[in-house]
Amino acid sequence: MSVNEIRWHPLLGTWVIVASGRATRPWRDATCPFCPGAPETGYGWDVISLDNRYPSLSTSPSVTSTPPSFSKLEPGYGRCKVVIETTEHEGDLDTIPFQNLVKYVDILGRETAELAEDPGIKYVAPFRNKGELIGVSIHHPHSQIYALPFIPLRIERELASMEGYYKDKGSCLVCDIVKEEELGERVIYRNRDFILILPYYAQWPHECHIYPRRHFQLLSQLTDGEKESLSETLLVAVSMYNSLFNFSLPYMMVTHQAPVKGHYPHYHLHIEFYTIHRYADKLKYAAGIEWGYWAFTYDELPENRVKELKEALKRAVNRLKERGYNLRGELIP
């Protein structure tokens, strides 16, 4: 029997997802389930959203047994979606047509709105894993969306931080970060609606964040113009990463948005990229101090990494121009 349940971690005050059916999911199979003509995808599409065949959460979950007295057990109710960004089997967000990117961003917003209508869903988590070193099981370019029955602990910490900052300063934390950093050395790129920045408080080697200039909470609140601007910022970020060491760089891309139940006016949506390469031939291994204590160490000055990324972006822009794409925003020297 496939089990989908969530178990309470009493020491951390958060839920752990248990999904036994995930153990049998395809692992880098020679037959791609996401290419056109596959049973799940069919034909006649360019960007498509599907239910995950091996979900961590289910709308009809099964549980195992009674939990011990120090913990709690709940059915693993939720939805897991896959968003396939292109019909091409290989590639990244900087190689697919720009209109695919715009459709991709639009789908993330529409899925957020639709999943939010489910009474059992409290949080919608869109993310993208890329590269075998990150653990990707299928190479075809795709992202995932988890609709969760709880608010993740990291989001709870952000909610508390942003609300506390507002009570103390009377303004939005992320809005103030954008204002102070926008003309500074850590900003890499900006267009009308978004900035790309290596944050002062980065934890991963070339970690970058995308911050909206407008204050809003959910992907479903993007305007049509912001969808295009965000698509371009994603294009810039990924192209920059793939130009950094001149190979296709593994990364994790996660959207932090507000919970879909409740009112969170102090929260400010943003997107974070985590990279594991310190150099072309050296990885950042998150080990005891990071996982055991959540105290990340940064093996360089973040400002030096910014210089590397700005040089990489210059190379990326030249490659984009060769493909006929001219950026609408500006590189920050």
Catalytically active residues, by annotation: 142
Residues facing 82 on adjacent strands: 50, 144
Whether 263 and 251 have beta carbons less than 8 Å apart is answered as no
Secondary structure (DSSP) of 208-269: EEEEESS----GGG--HHHHHHHHHHHHHHHHHHHHHSSS---EEEEEE---SSS--TT---
Query: What H or E segment, with its residue span, contains residue 177?
Result: helix 173-181
**Terminal CA-to-CA distance of the chain, rounded, Å?**
57
- Tell me how far CA of residue 98 lies from CA of 251, 269, 326, in angstroms: 20, 23, 11
Q: Report d(CA 245, CA 242) in Å as an integer.
A: 7
Give the angle 99-103-105 at the CA atoms, nearest 5°.
115
Instruction: For strands 79-84 and 142-148, give the pairing.
Output: antiparallel
137, 32 in Cβ contact below 8 A? no
